[in-house]
Chain A
Amino acid sequence: MSTVPTSNGEGSSPALPEALAEIQRDFLDLSVKDRLQLLLEFSNELPGLPERYADHPDLLEQVVECQSPVFIFVEVTDGLVHLYATAPRESPTTRGFASIIAQGLEGLTVDEALGVPDDYPQTIGLVEAVSPLRIRGMTALLGRAKRQIREKTAA
């Protein structure tokens, strides 16, 4: 399997939303080893759930493709996307994935969020840092987030 990014945000279309493009640049600028450290920083930045979800874990959807339990919930408020996620402390990689997706989608319009390429997780230099198998967890997370956005805006 090739680890060469299939798109690098430049010259490919459509352009990545700025936050996701910045995350991509930040990772690709680092050595493979340092990318893990950055992923750990993202992991530590994953905010706790807002109270309305903390008390209602039933509202969150589990992403079963991730190796560790991770739950996500998307809100669309005034046409803008917000994603909340929670994963256990002993699953820092999964937390890092969720944190990247949450920060990357935050405040995007519905169209912008749905336009994020499905292979974005493969393009930020993490495939070789964490392994192709593990990166599937982030791909699944992004797919679930986009599906929730579609469902919430379909009505």
Chain B
Amino acid sequence: MPVDRDPSAQFSDYAHPERLVSTEWLAEKLAGDPAARAGLVVVESDEDVLLYETGHIPGSVKVDWHTDLNDPVQRDYISGEKFAELMSERGISRDSTVVIYGDKNNWWAAYALWVFTLFGHEDVRLLDGGRAKWEAEGREYTLDQPAITPVEYPVPERDDTGIRAYKEDVLAHFGSPLIDVRSPEEYNGSRTTAPAYPEEGALRAGHIPSAQNVPWGKAAADDGTFRPLAELDAIYRDGAGLKDDDEVVAYCRIGERSSHTWFVLHHLMGFENVRNYDGSWTEWGSAVRVPIVTGAEPGEAPAATTR
């Protein structure tokens, strides 16, 4: 059964306030009447694969973006069968309310949420502020791993059509807005990886023609929470030129930072048609005969190809 939503006033301006919960709300749920949190599963998803093991929100389970959500052989997400298995092992039912939190401004938590959405899991939310805020407020962590009774989770069909873009979709998208959420150095072509991140193998540097550069972290305030809607409007509408009814594709390097931006554009700002191009620069920057622009300017969009 879905758990009631967090009525906090700070979320009310967002298009889908039910997609966020505050640290106060979660702490109260965990401390309060167990009946009021029936169906709630808290999931931690971090960049660092061991961070959960050093202390986590009591009762939470871990889902790792790389070892759990990615197929180990083919460059793709796991199958519906594997997802059902993962959910079952973590004690998550199809109607569970899943609240995801993590390190780095919920960067990886947003990525996990996006993958949950590919599999059509209905009620999945982010803990606004993630680990950093929970910690800054001195809230409880535990080393105890919860005892999980596996539950039934029906094998879902993964639907890539709504929120995921492939390379061919991007070629067909030219003329509509693209948001490149990487660092300015990656965007202008002076480097192919984020500062202080490992080389993930792209043969060329630069950006997809016409893409606006809005580094993903701009959407987060200093305490790790999402910025208020007015500030998001200033960044993405005034700054990057997005307009109502725009269809948008966001990308980064492997699709994780752009999941965060996807969450912002879709769930917080209400853009209906936003897709994350998870192939991102590691695919585009190595693909043969796709157009690339270097330098700080977006450049002209080539003619869109029909699919």
Contact = CB atoms under 8 A, between A and B. Distances in A.
A37 B53 contact: yes
B48 A93 contact: yes
A115 to B, nearest CB: 25
A136 interface: yes
B57 to A, nearest CB: 15
Interface in B25-74: 47-51, 53-54, 66-67, 70, 72
B90 to A, nearest CB: 14
B103 interface: yes
Contacts of A133: 66, 198, 200
A1 B49 CA distance: 20
Interface of B: 47-51, 53-54, 66-67, 70, 72, 103, 195-200
B50 A92 contact: yes
A129 B67 contact: yes
A65 B50 contact: no
A15 interface: no
13 contacts: A39-B50, A40-B50, A65-B198, A65-B199, A66-B198, A68-B47, A68-B196, A69-B196, A93-B50, A93-B51, A131-B49, A131-B70, A134-B49
Given A67-B196, A133-B198, A92 B72 contact: no
A40 to B, nearest CB: 5
Given A67-B48, A140-B198, 4 more contacts: A93-B48, A134-B49, A134-B66, A136-B199
Contact of B67 (A39, A69, A131): A131
B49 A130 contact: yes
A104 interface: no
A62 B196 CA distance: 9
Majority secondary structure of chain B interface residues (helix, strand, loop or mixed): loop
Contacts of A66: 196, 198
A66 B47 CA distance: 12
Q: Shortest 8 CB-CB distances between A and B: which pairs?
A: A131-B66, A92-B50, A136-B198, A65-B198, A93-B50, A93-B48, A130-B49, A40-B53
Contacts of B49: 36, 93, 129-131, 134
A6 interface: no
Given A67-B47, A140-B198, A92 B53 contact: yes
Max chain A Cβ within 10 angstroms of own Cβ: one of B48, B53, B196: B48
A121 interface: no
A43 B55 CA distance: 14
Interface in A54-96: 62, 64-69, 89-94, 96
A128 B50 contact: no
A139 B255 CA distance: 24
A137 interface: yes
Nearest to B70: A131
A13 B70 CA distance: 34
Interface in A84-131: 89-94, 96, 128-131
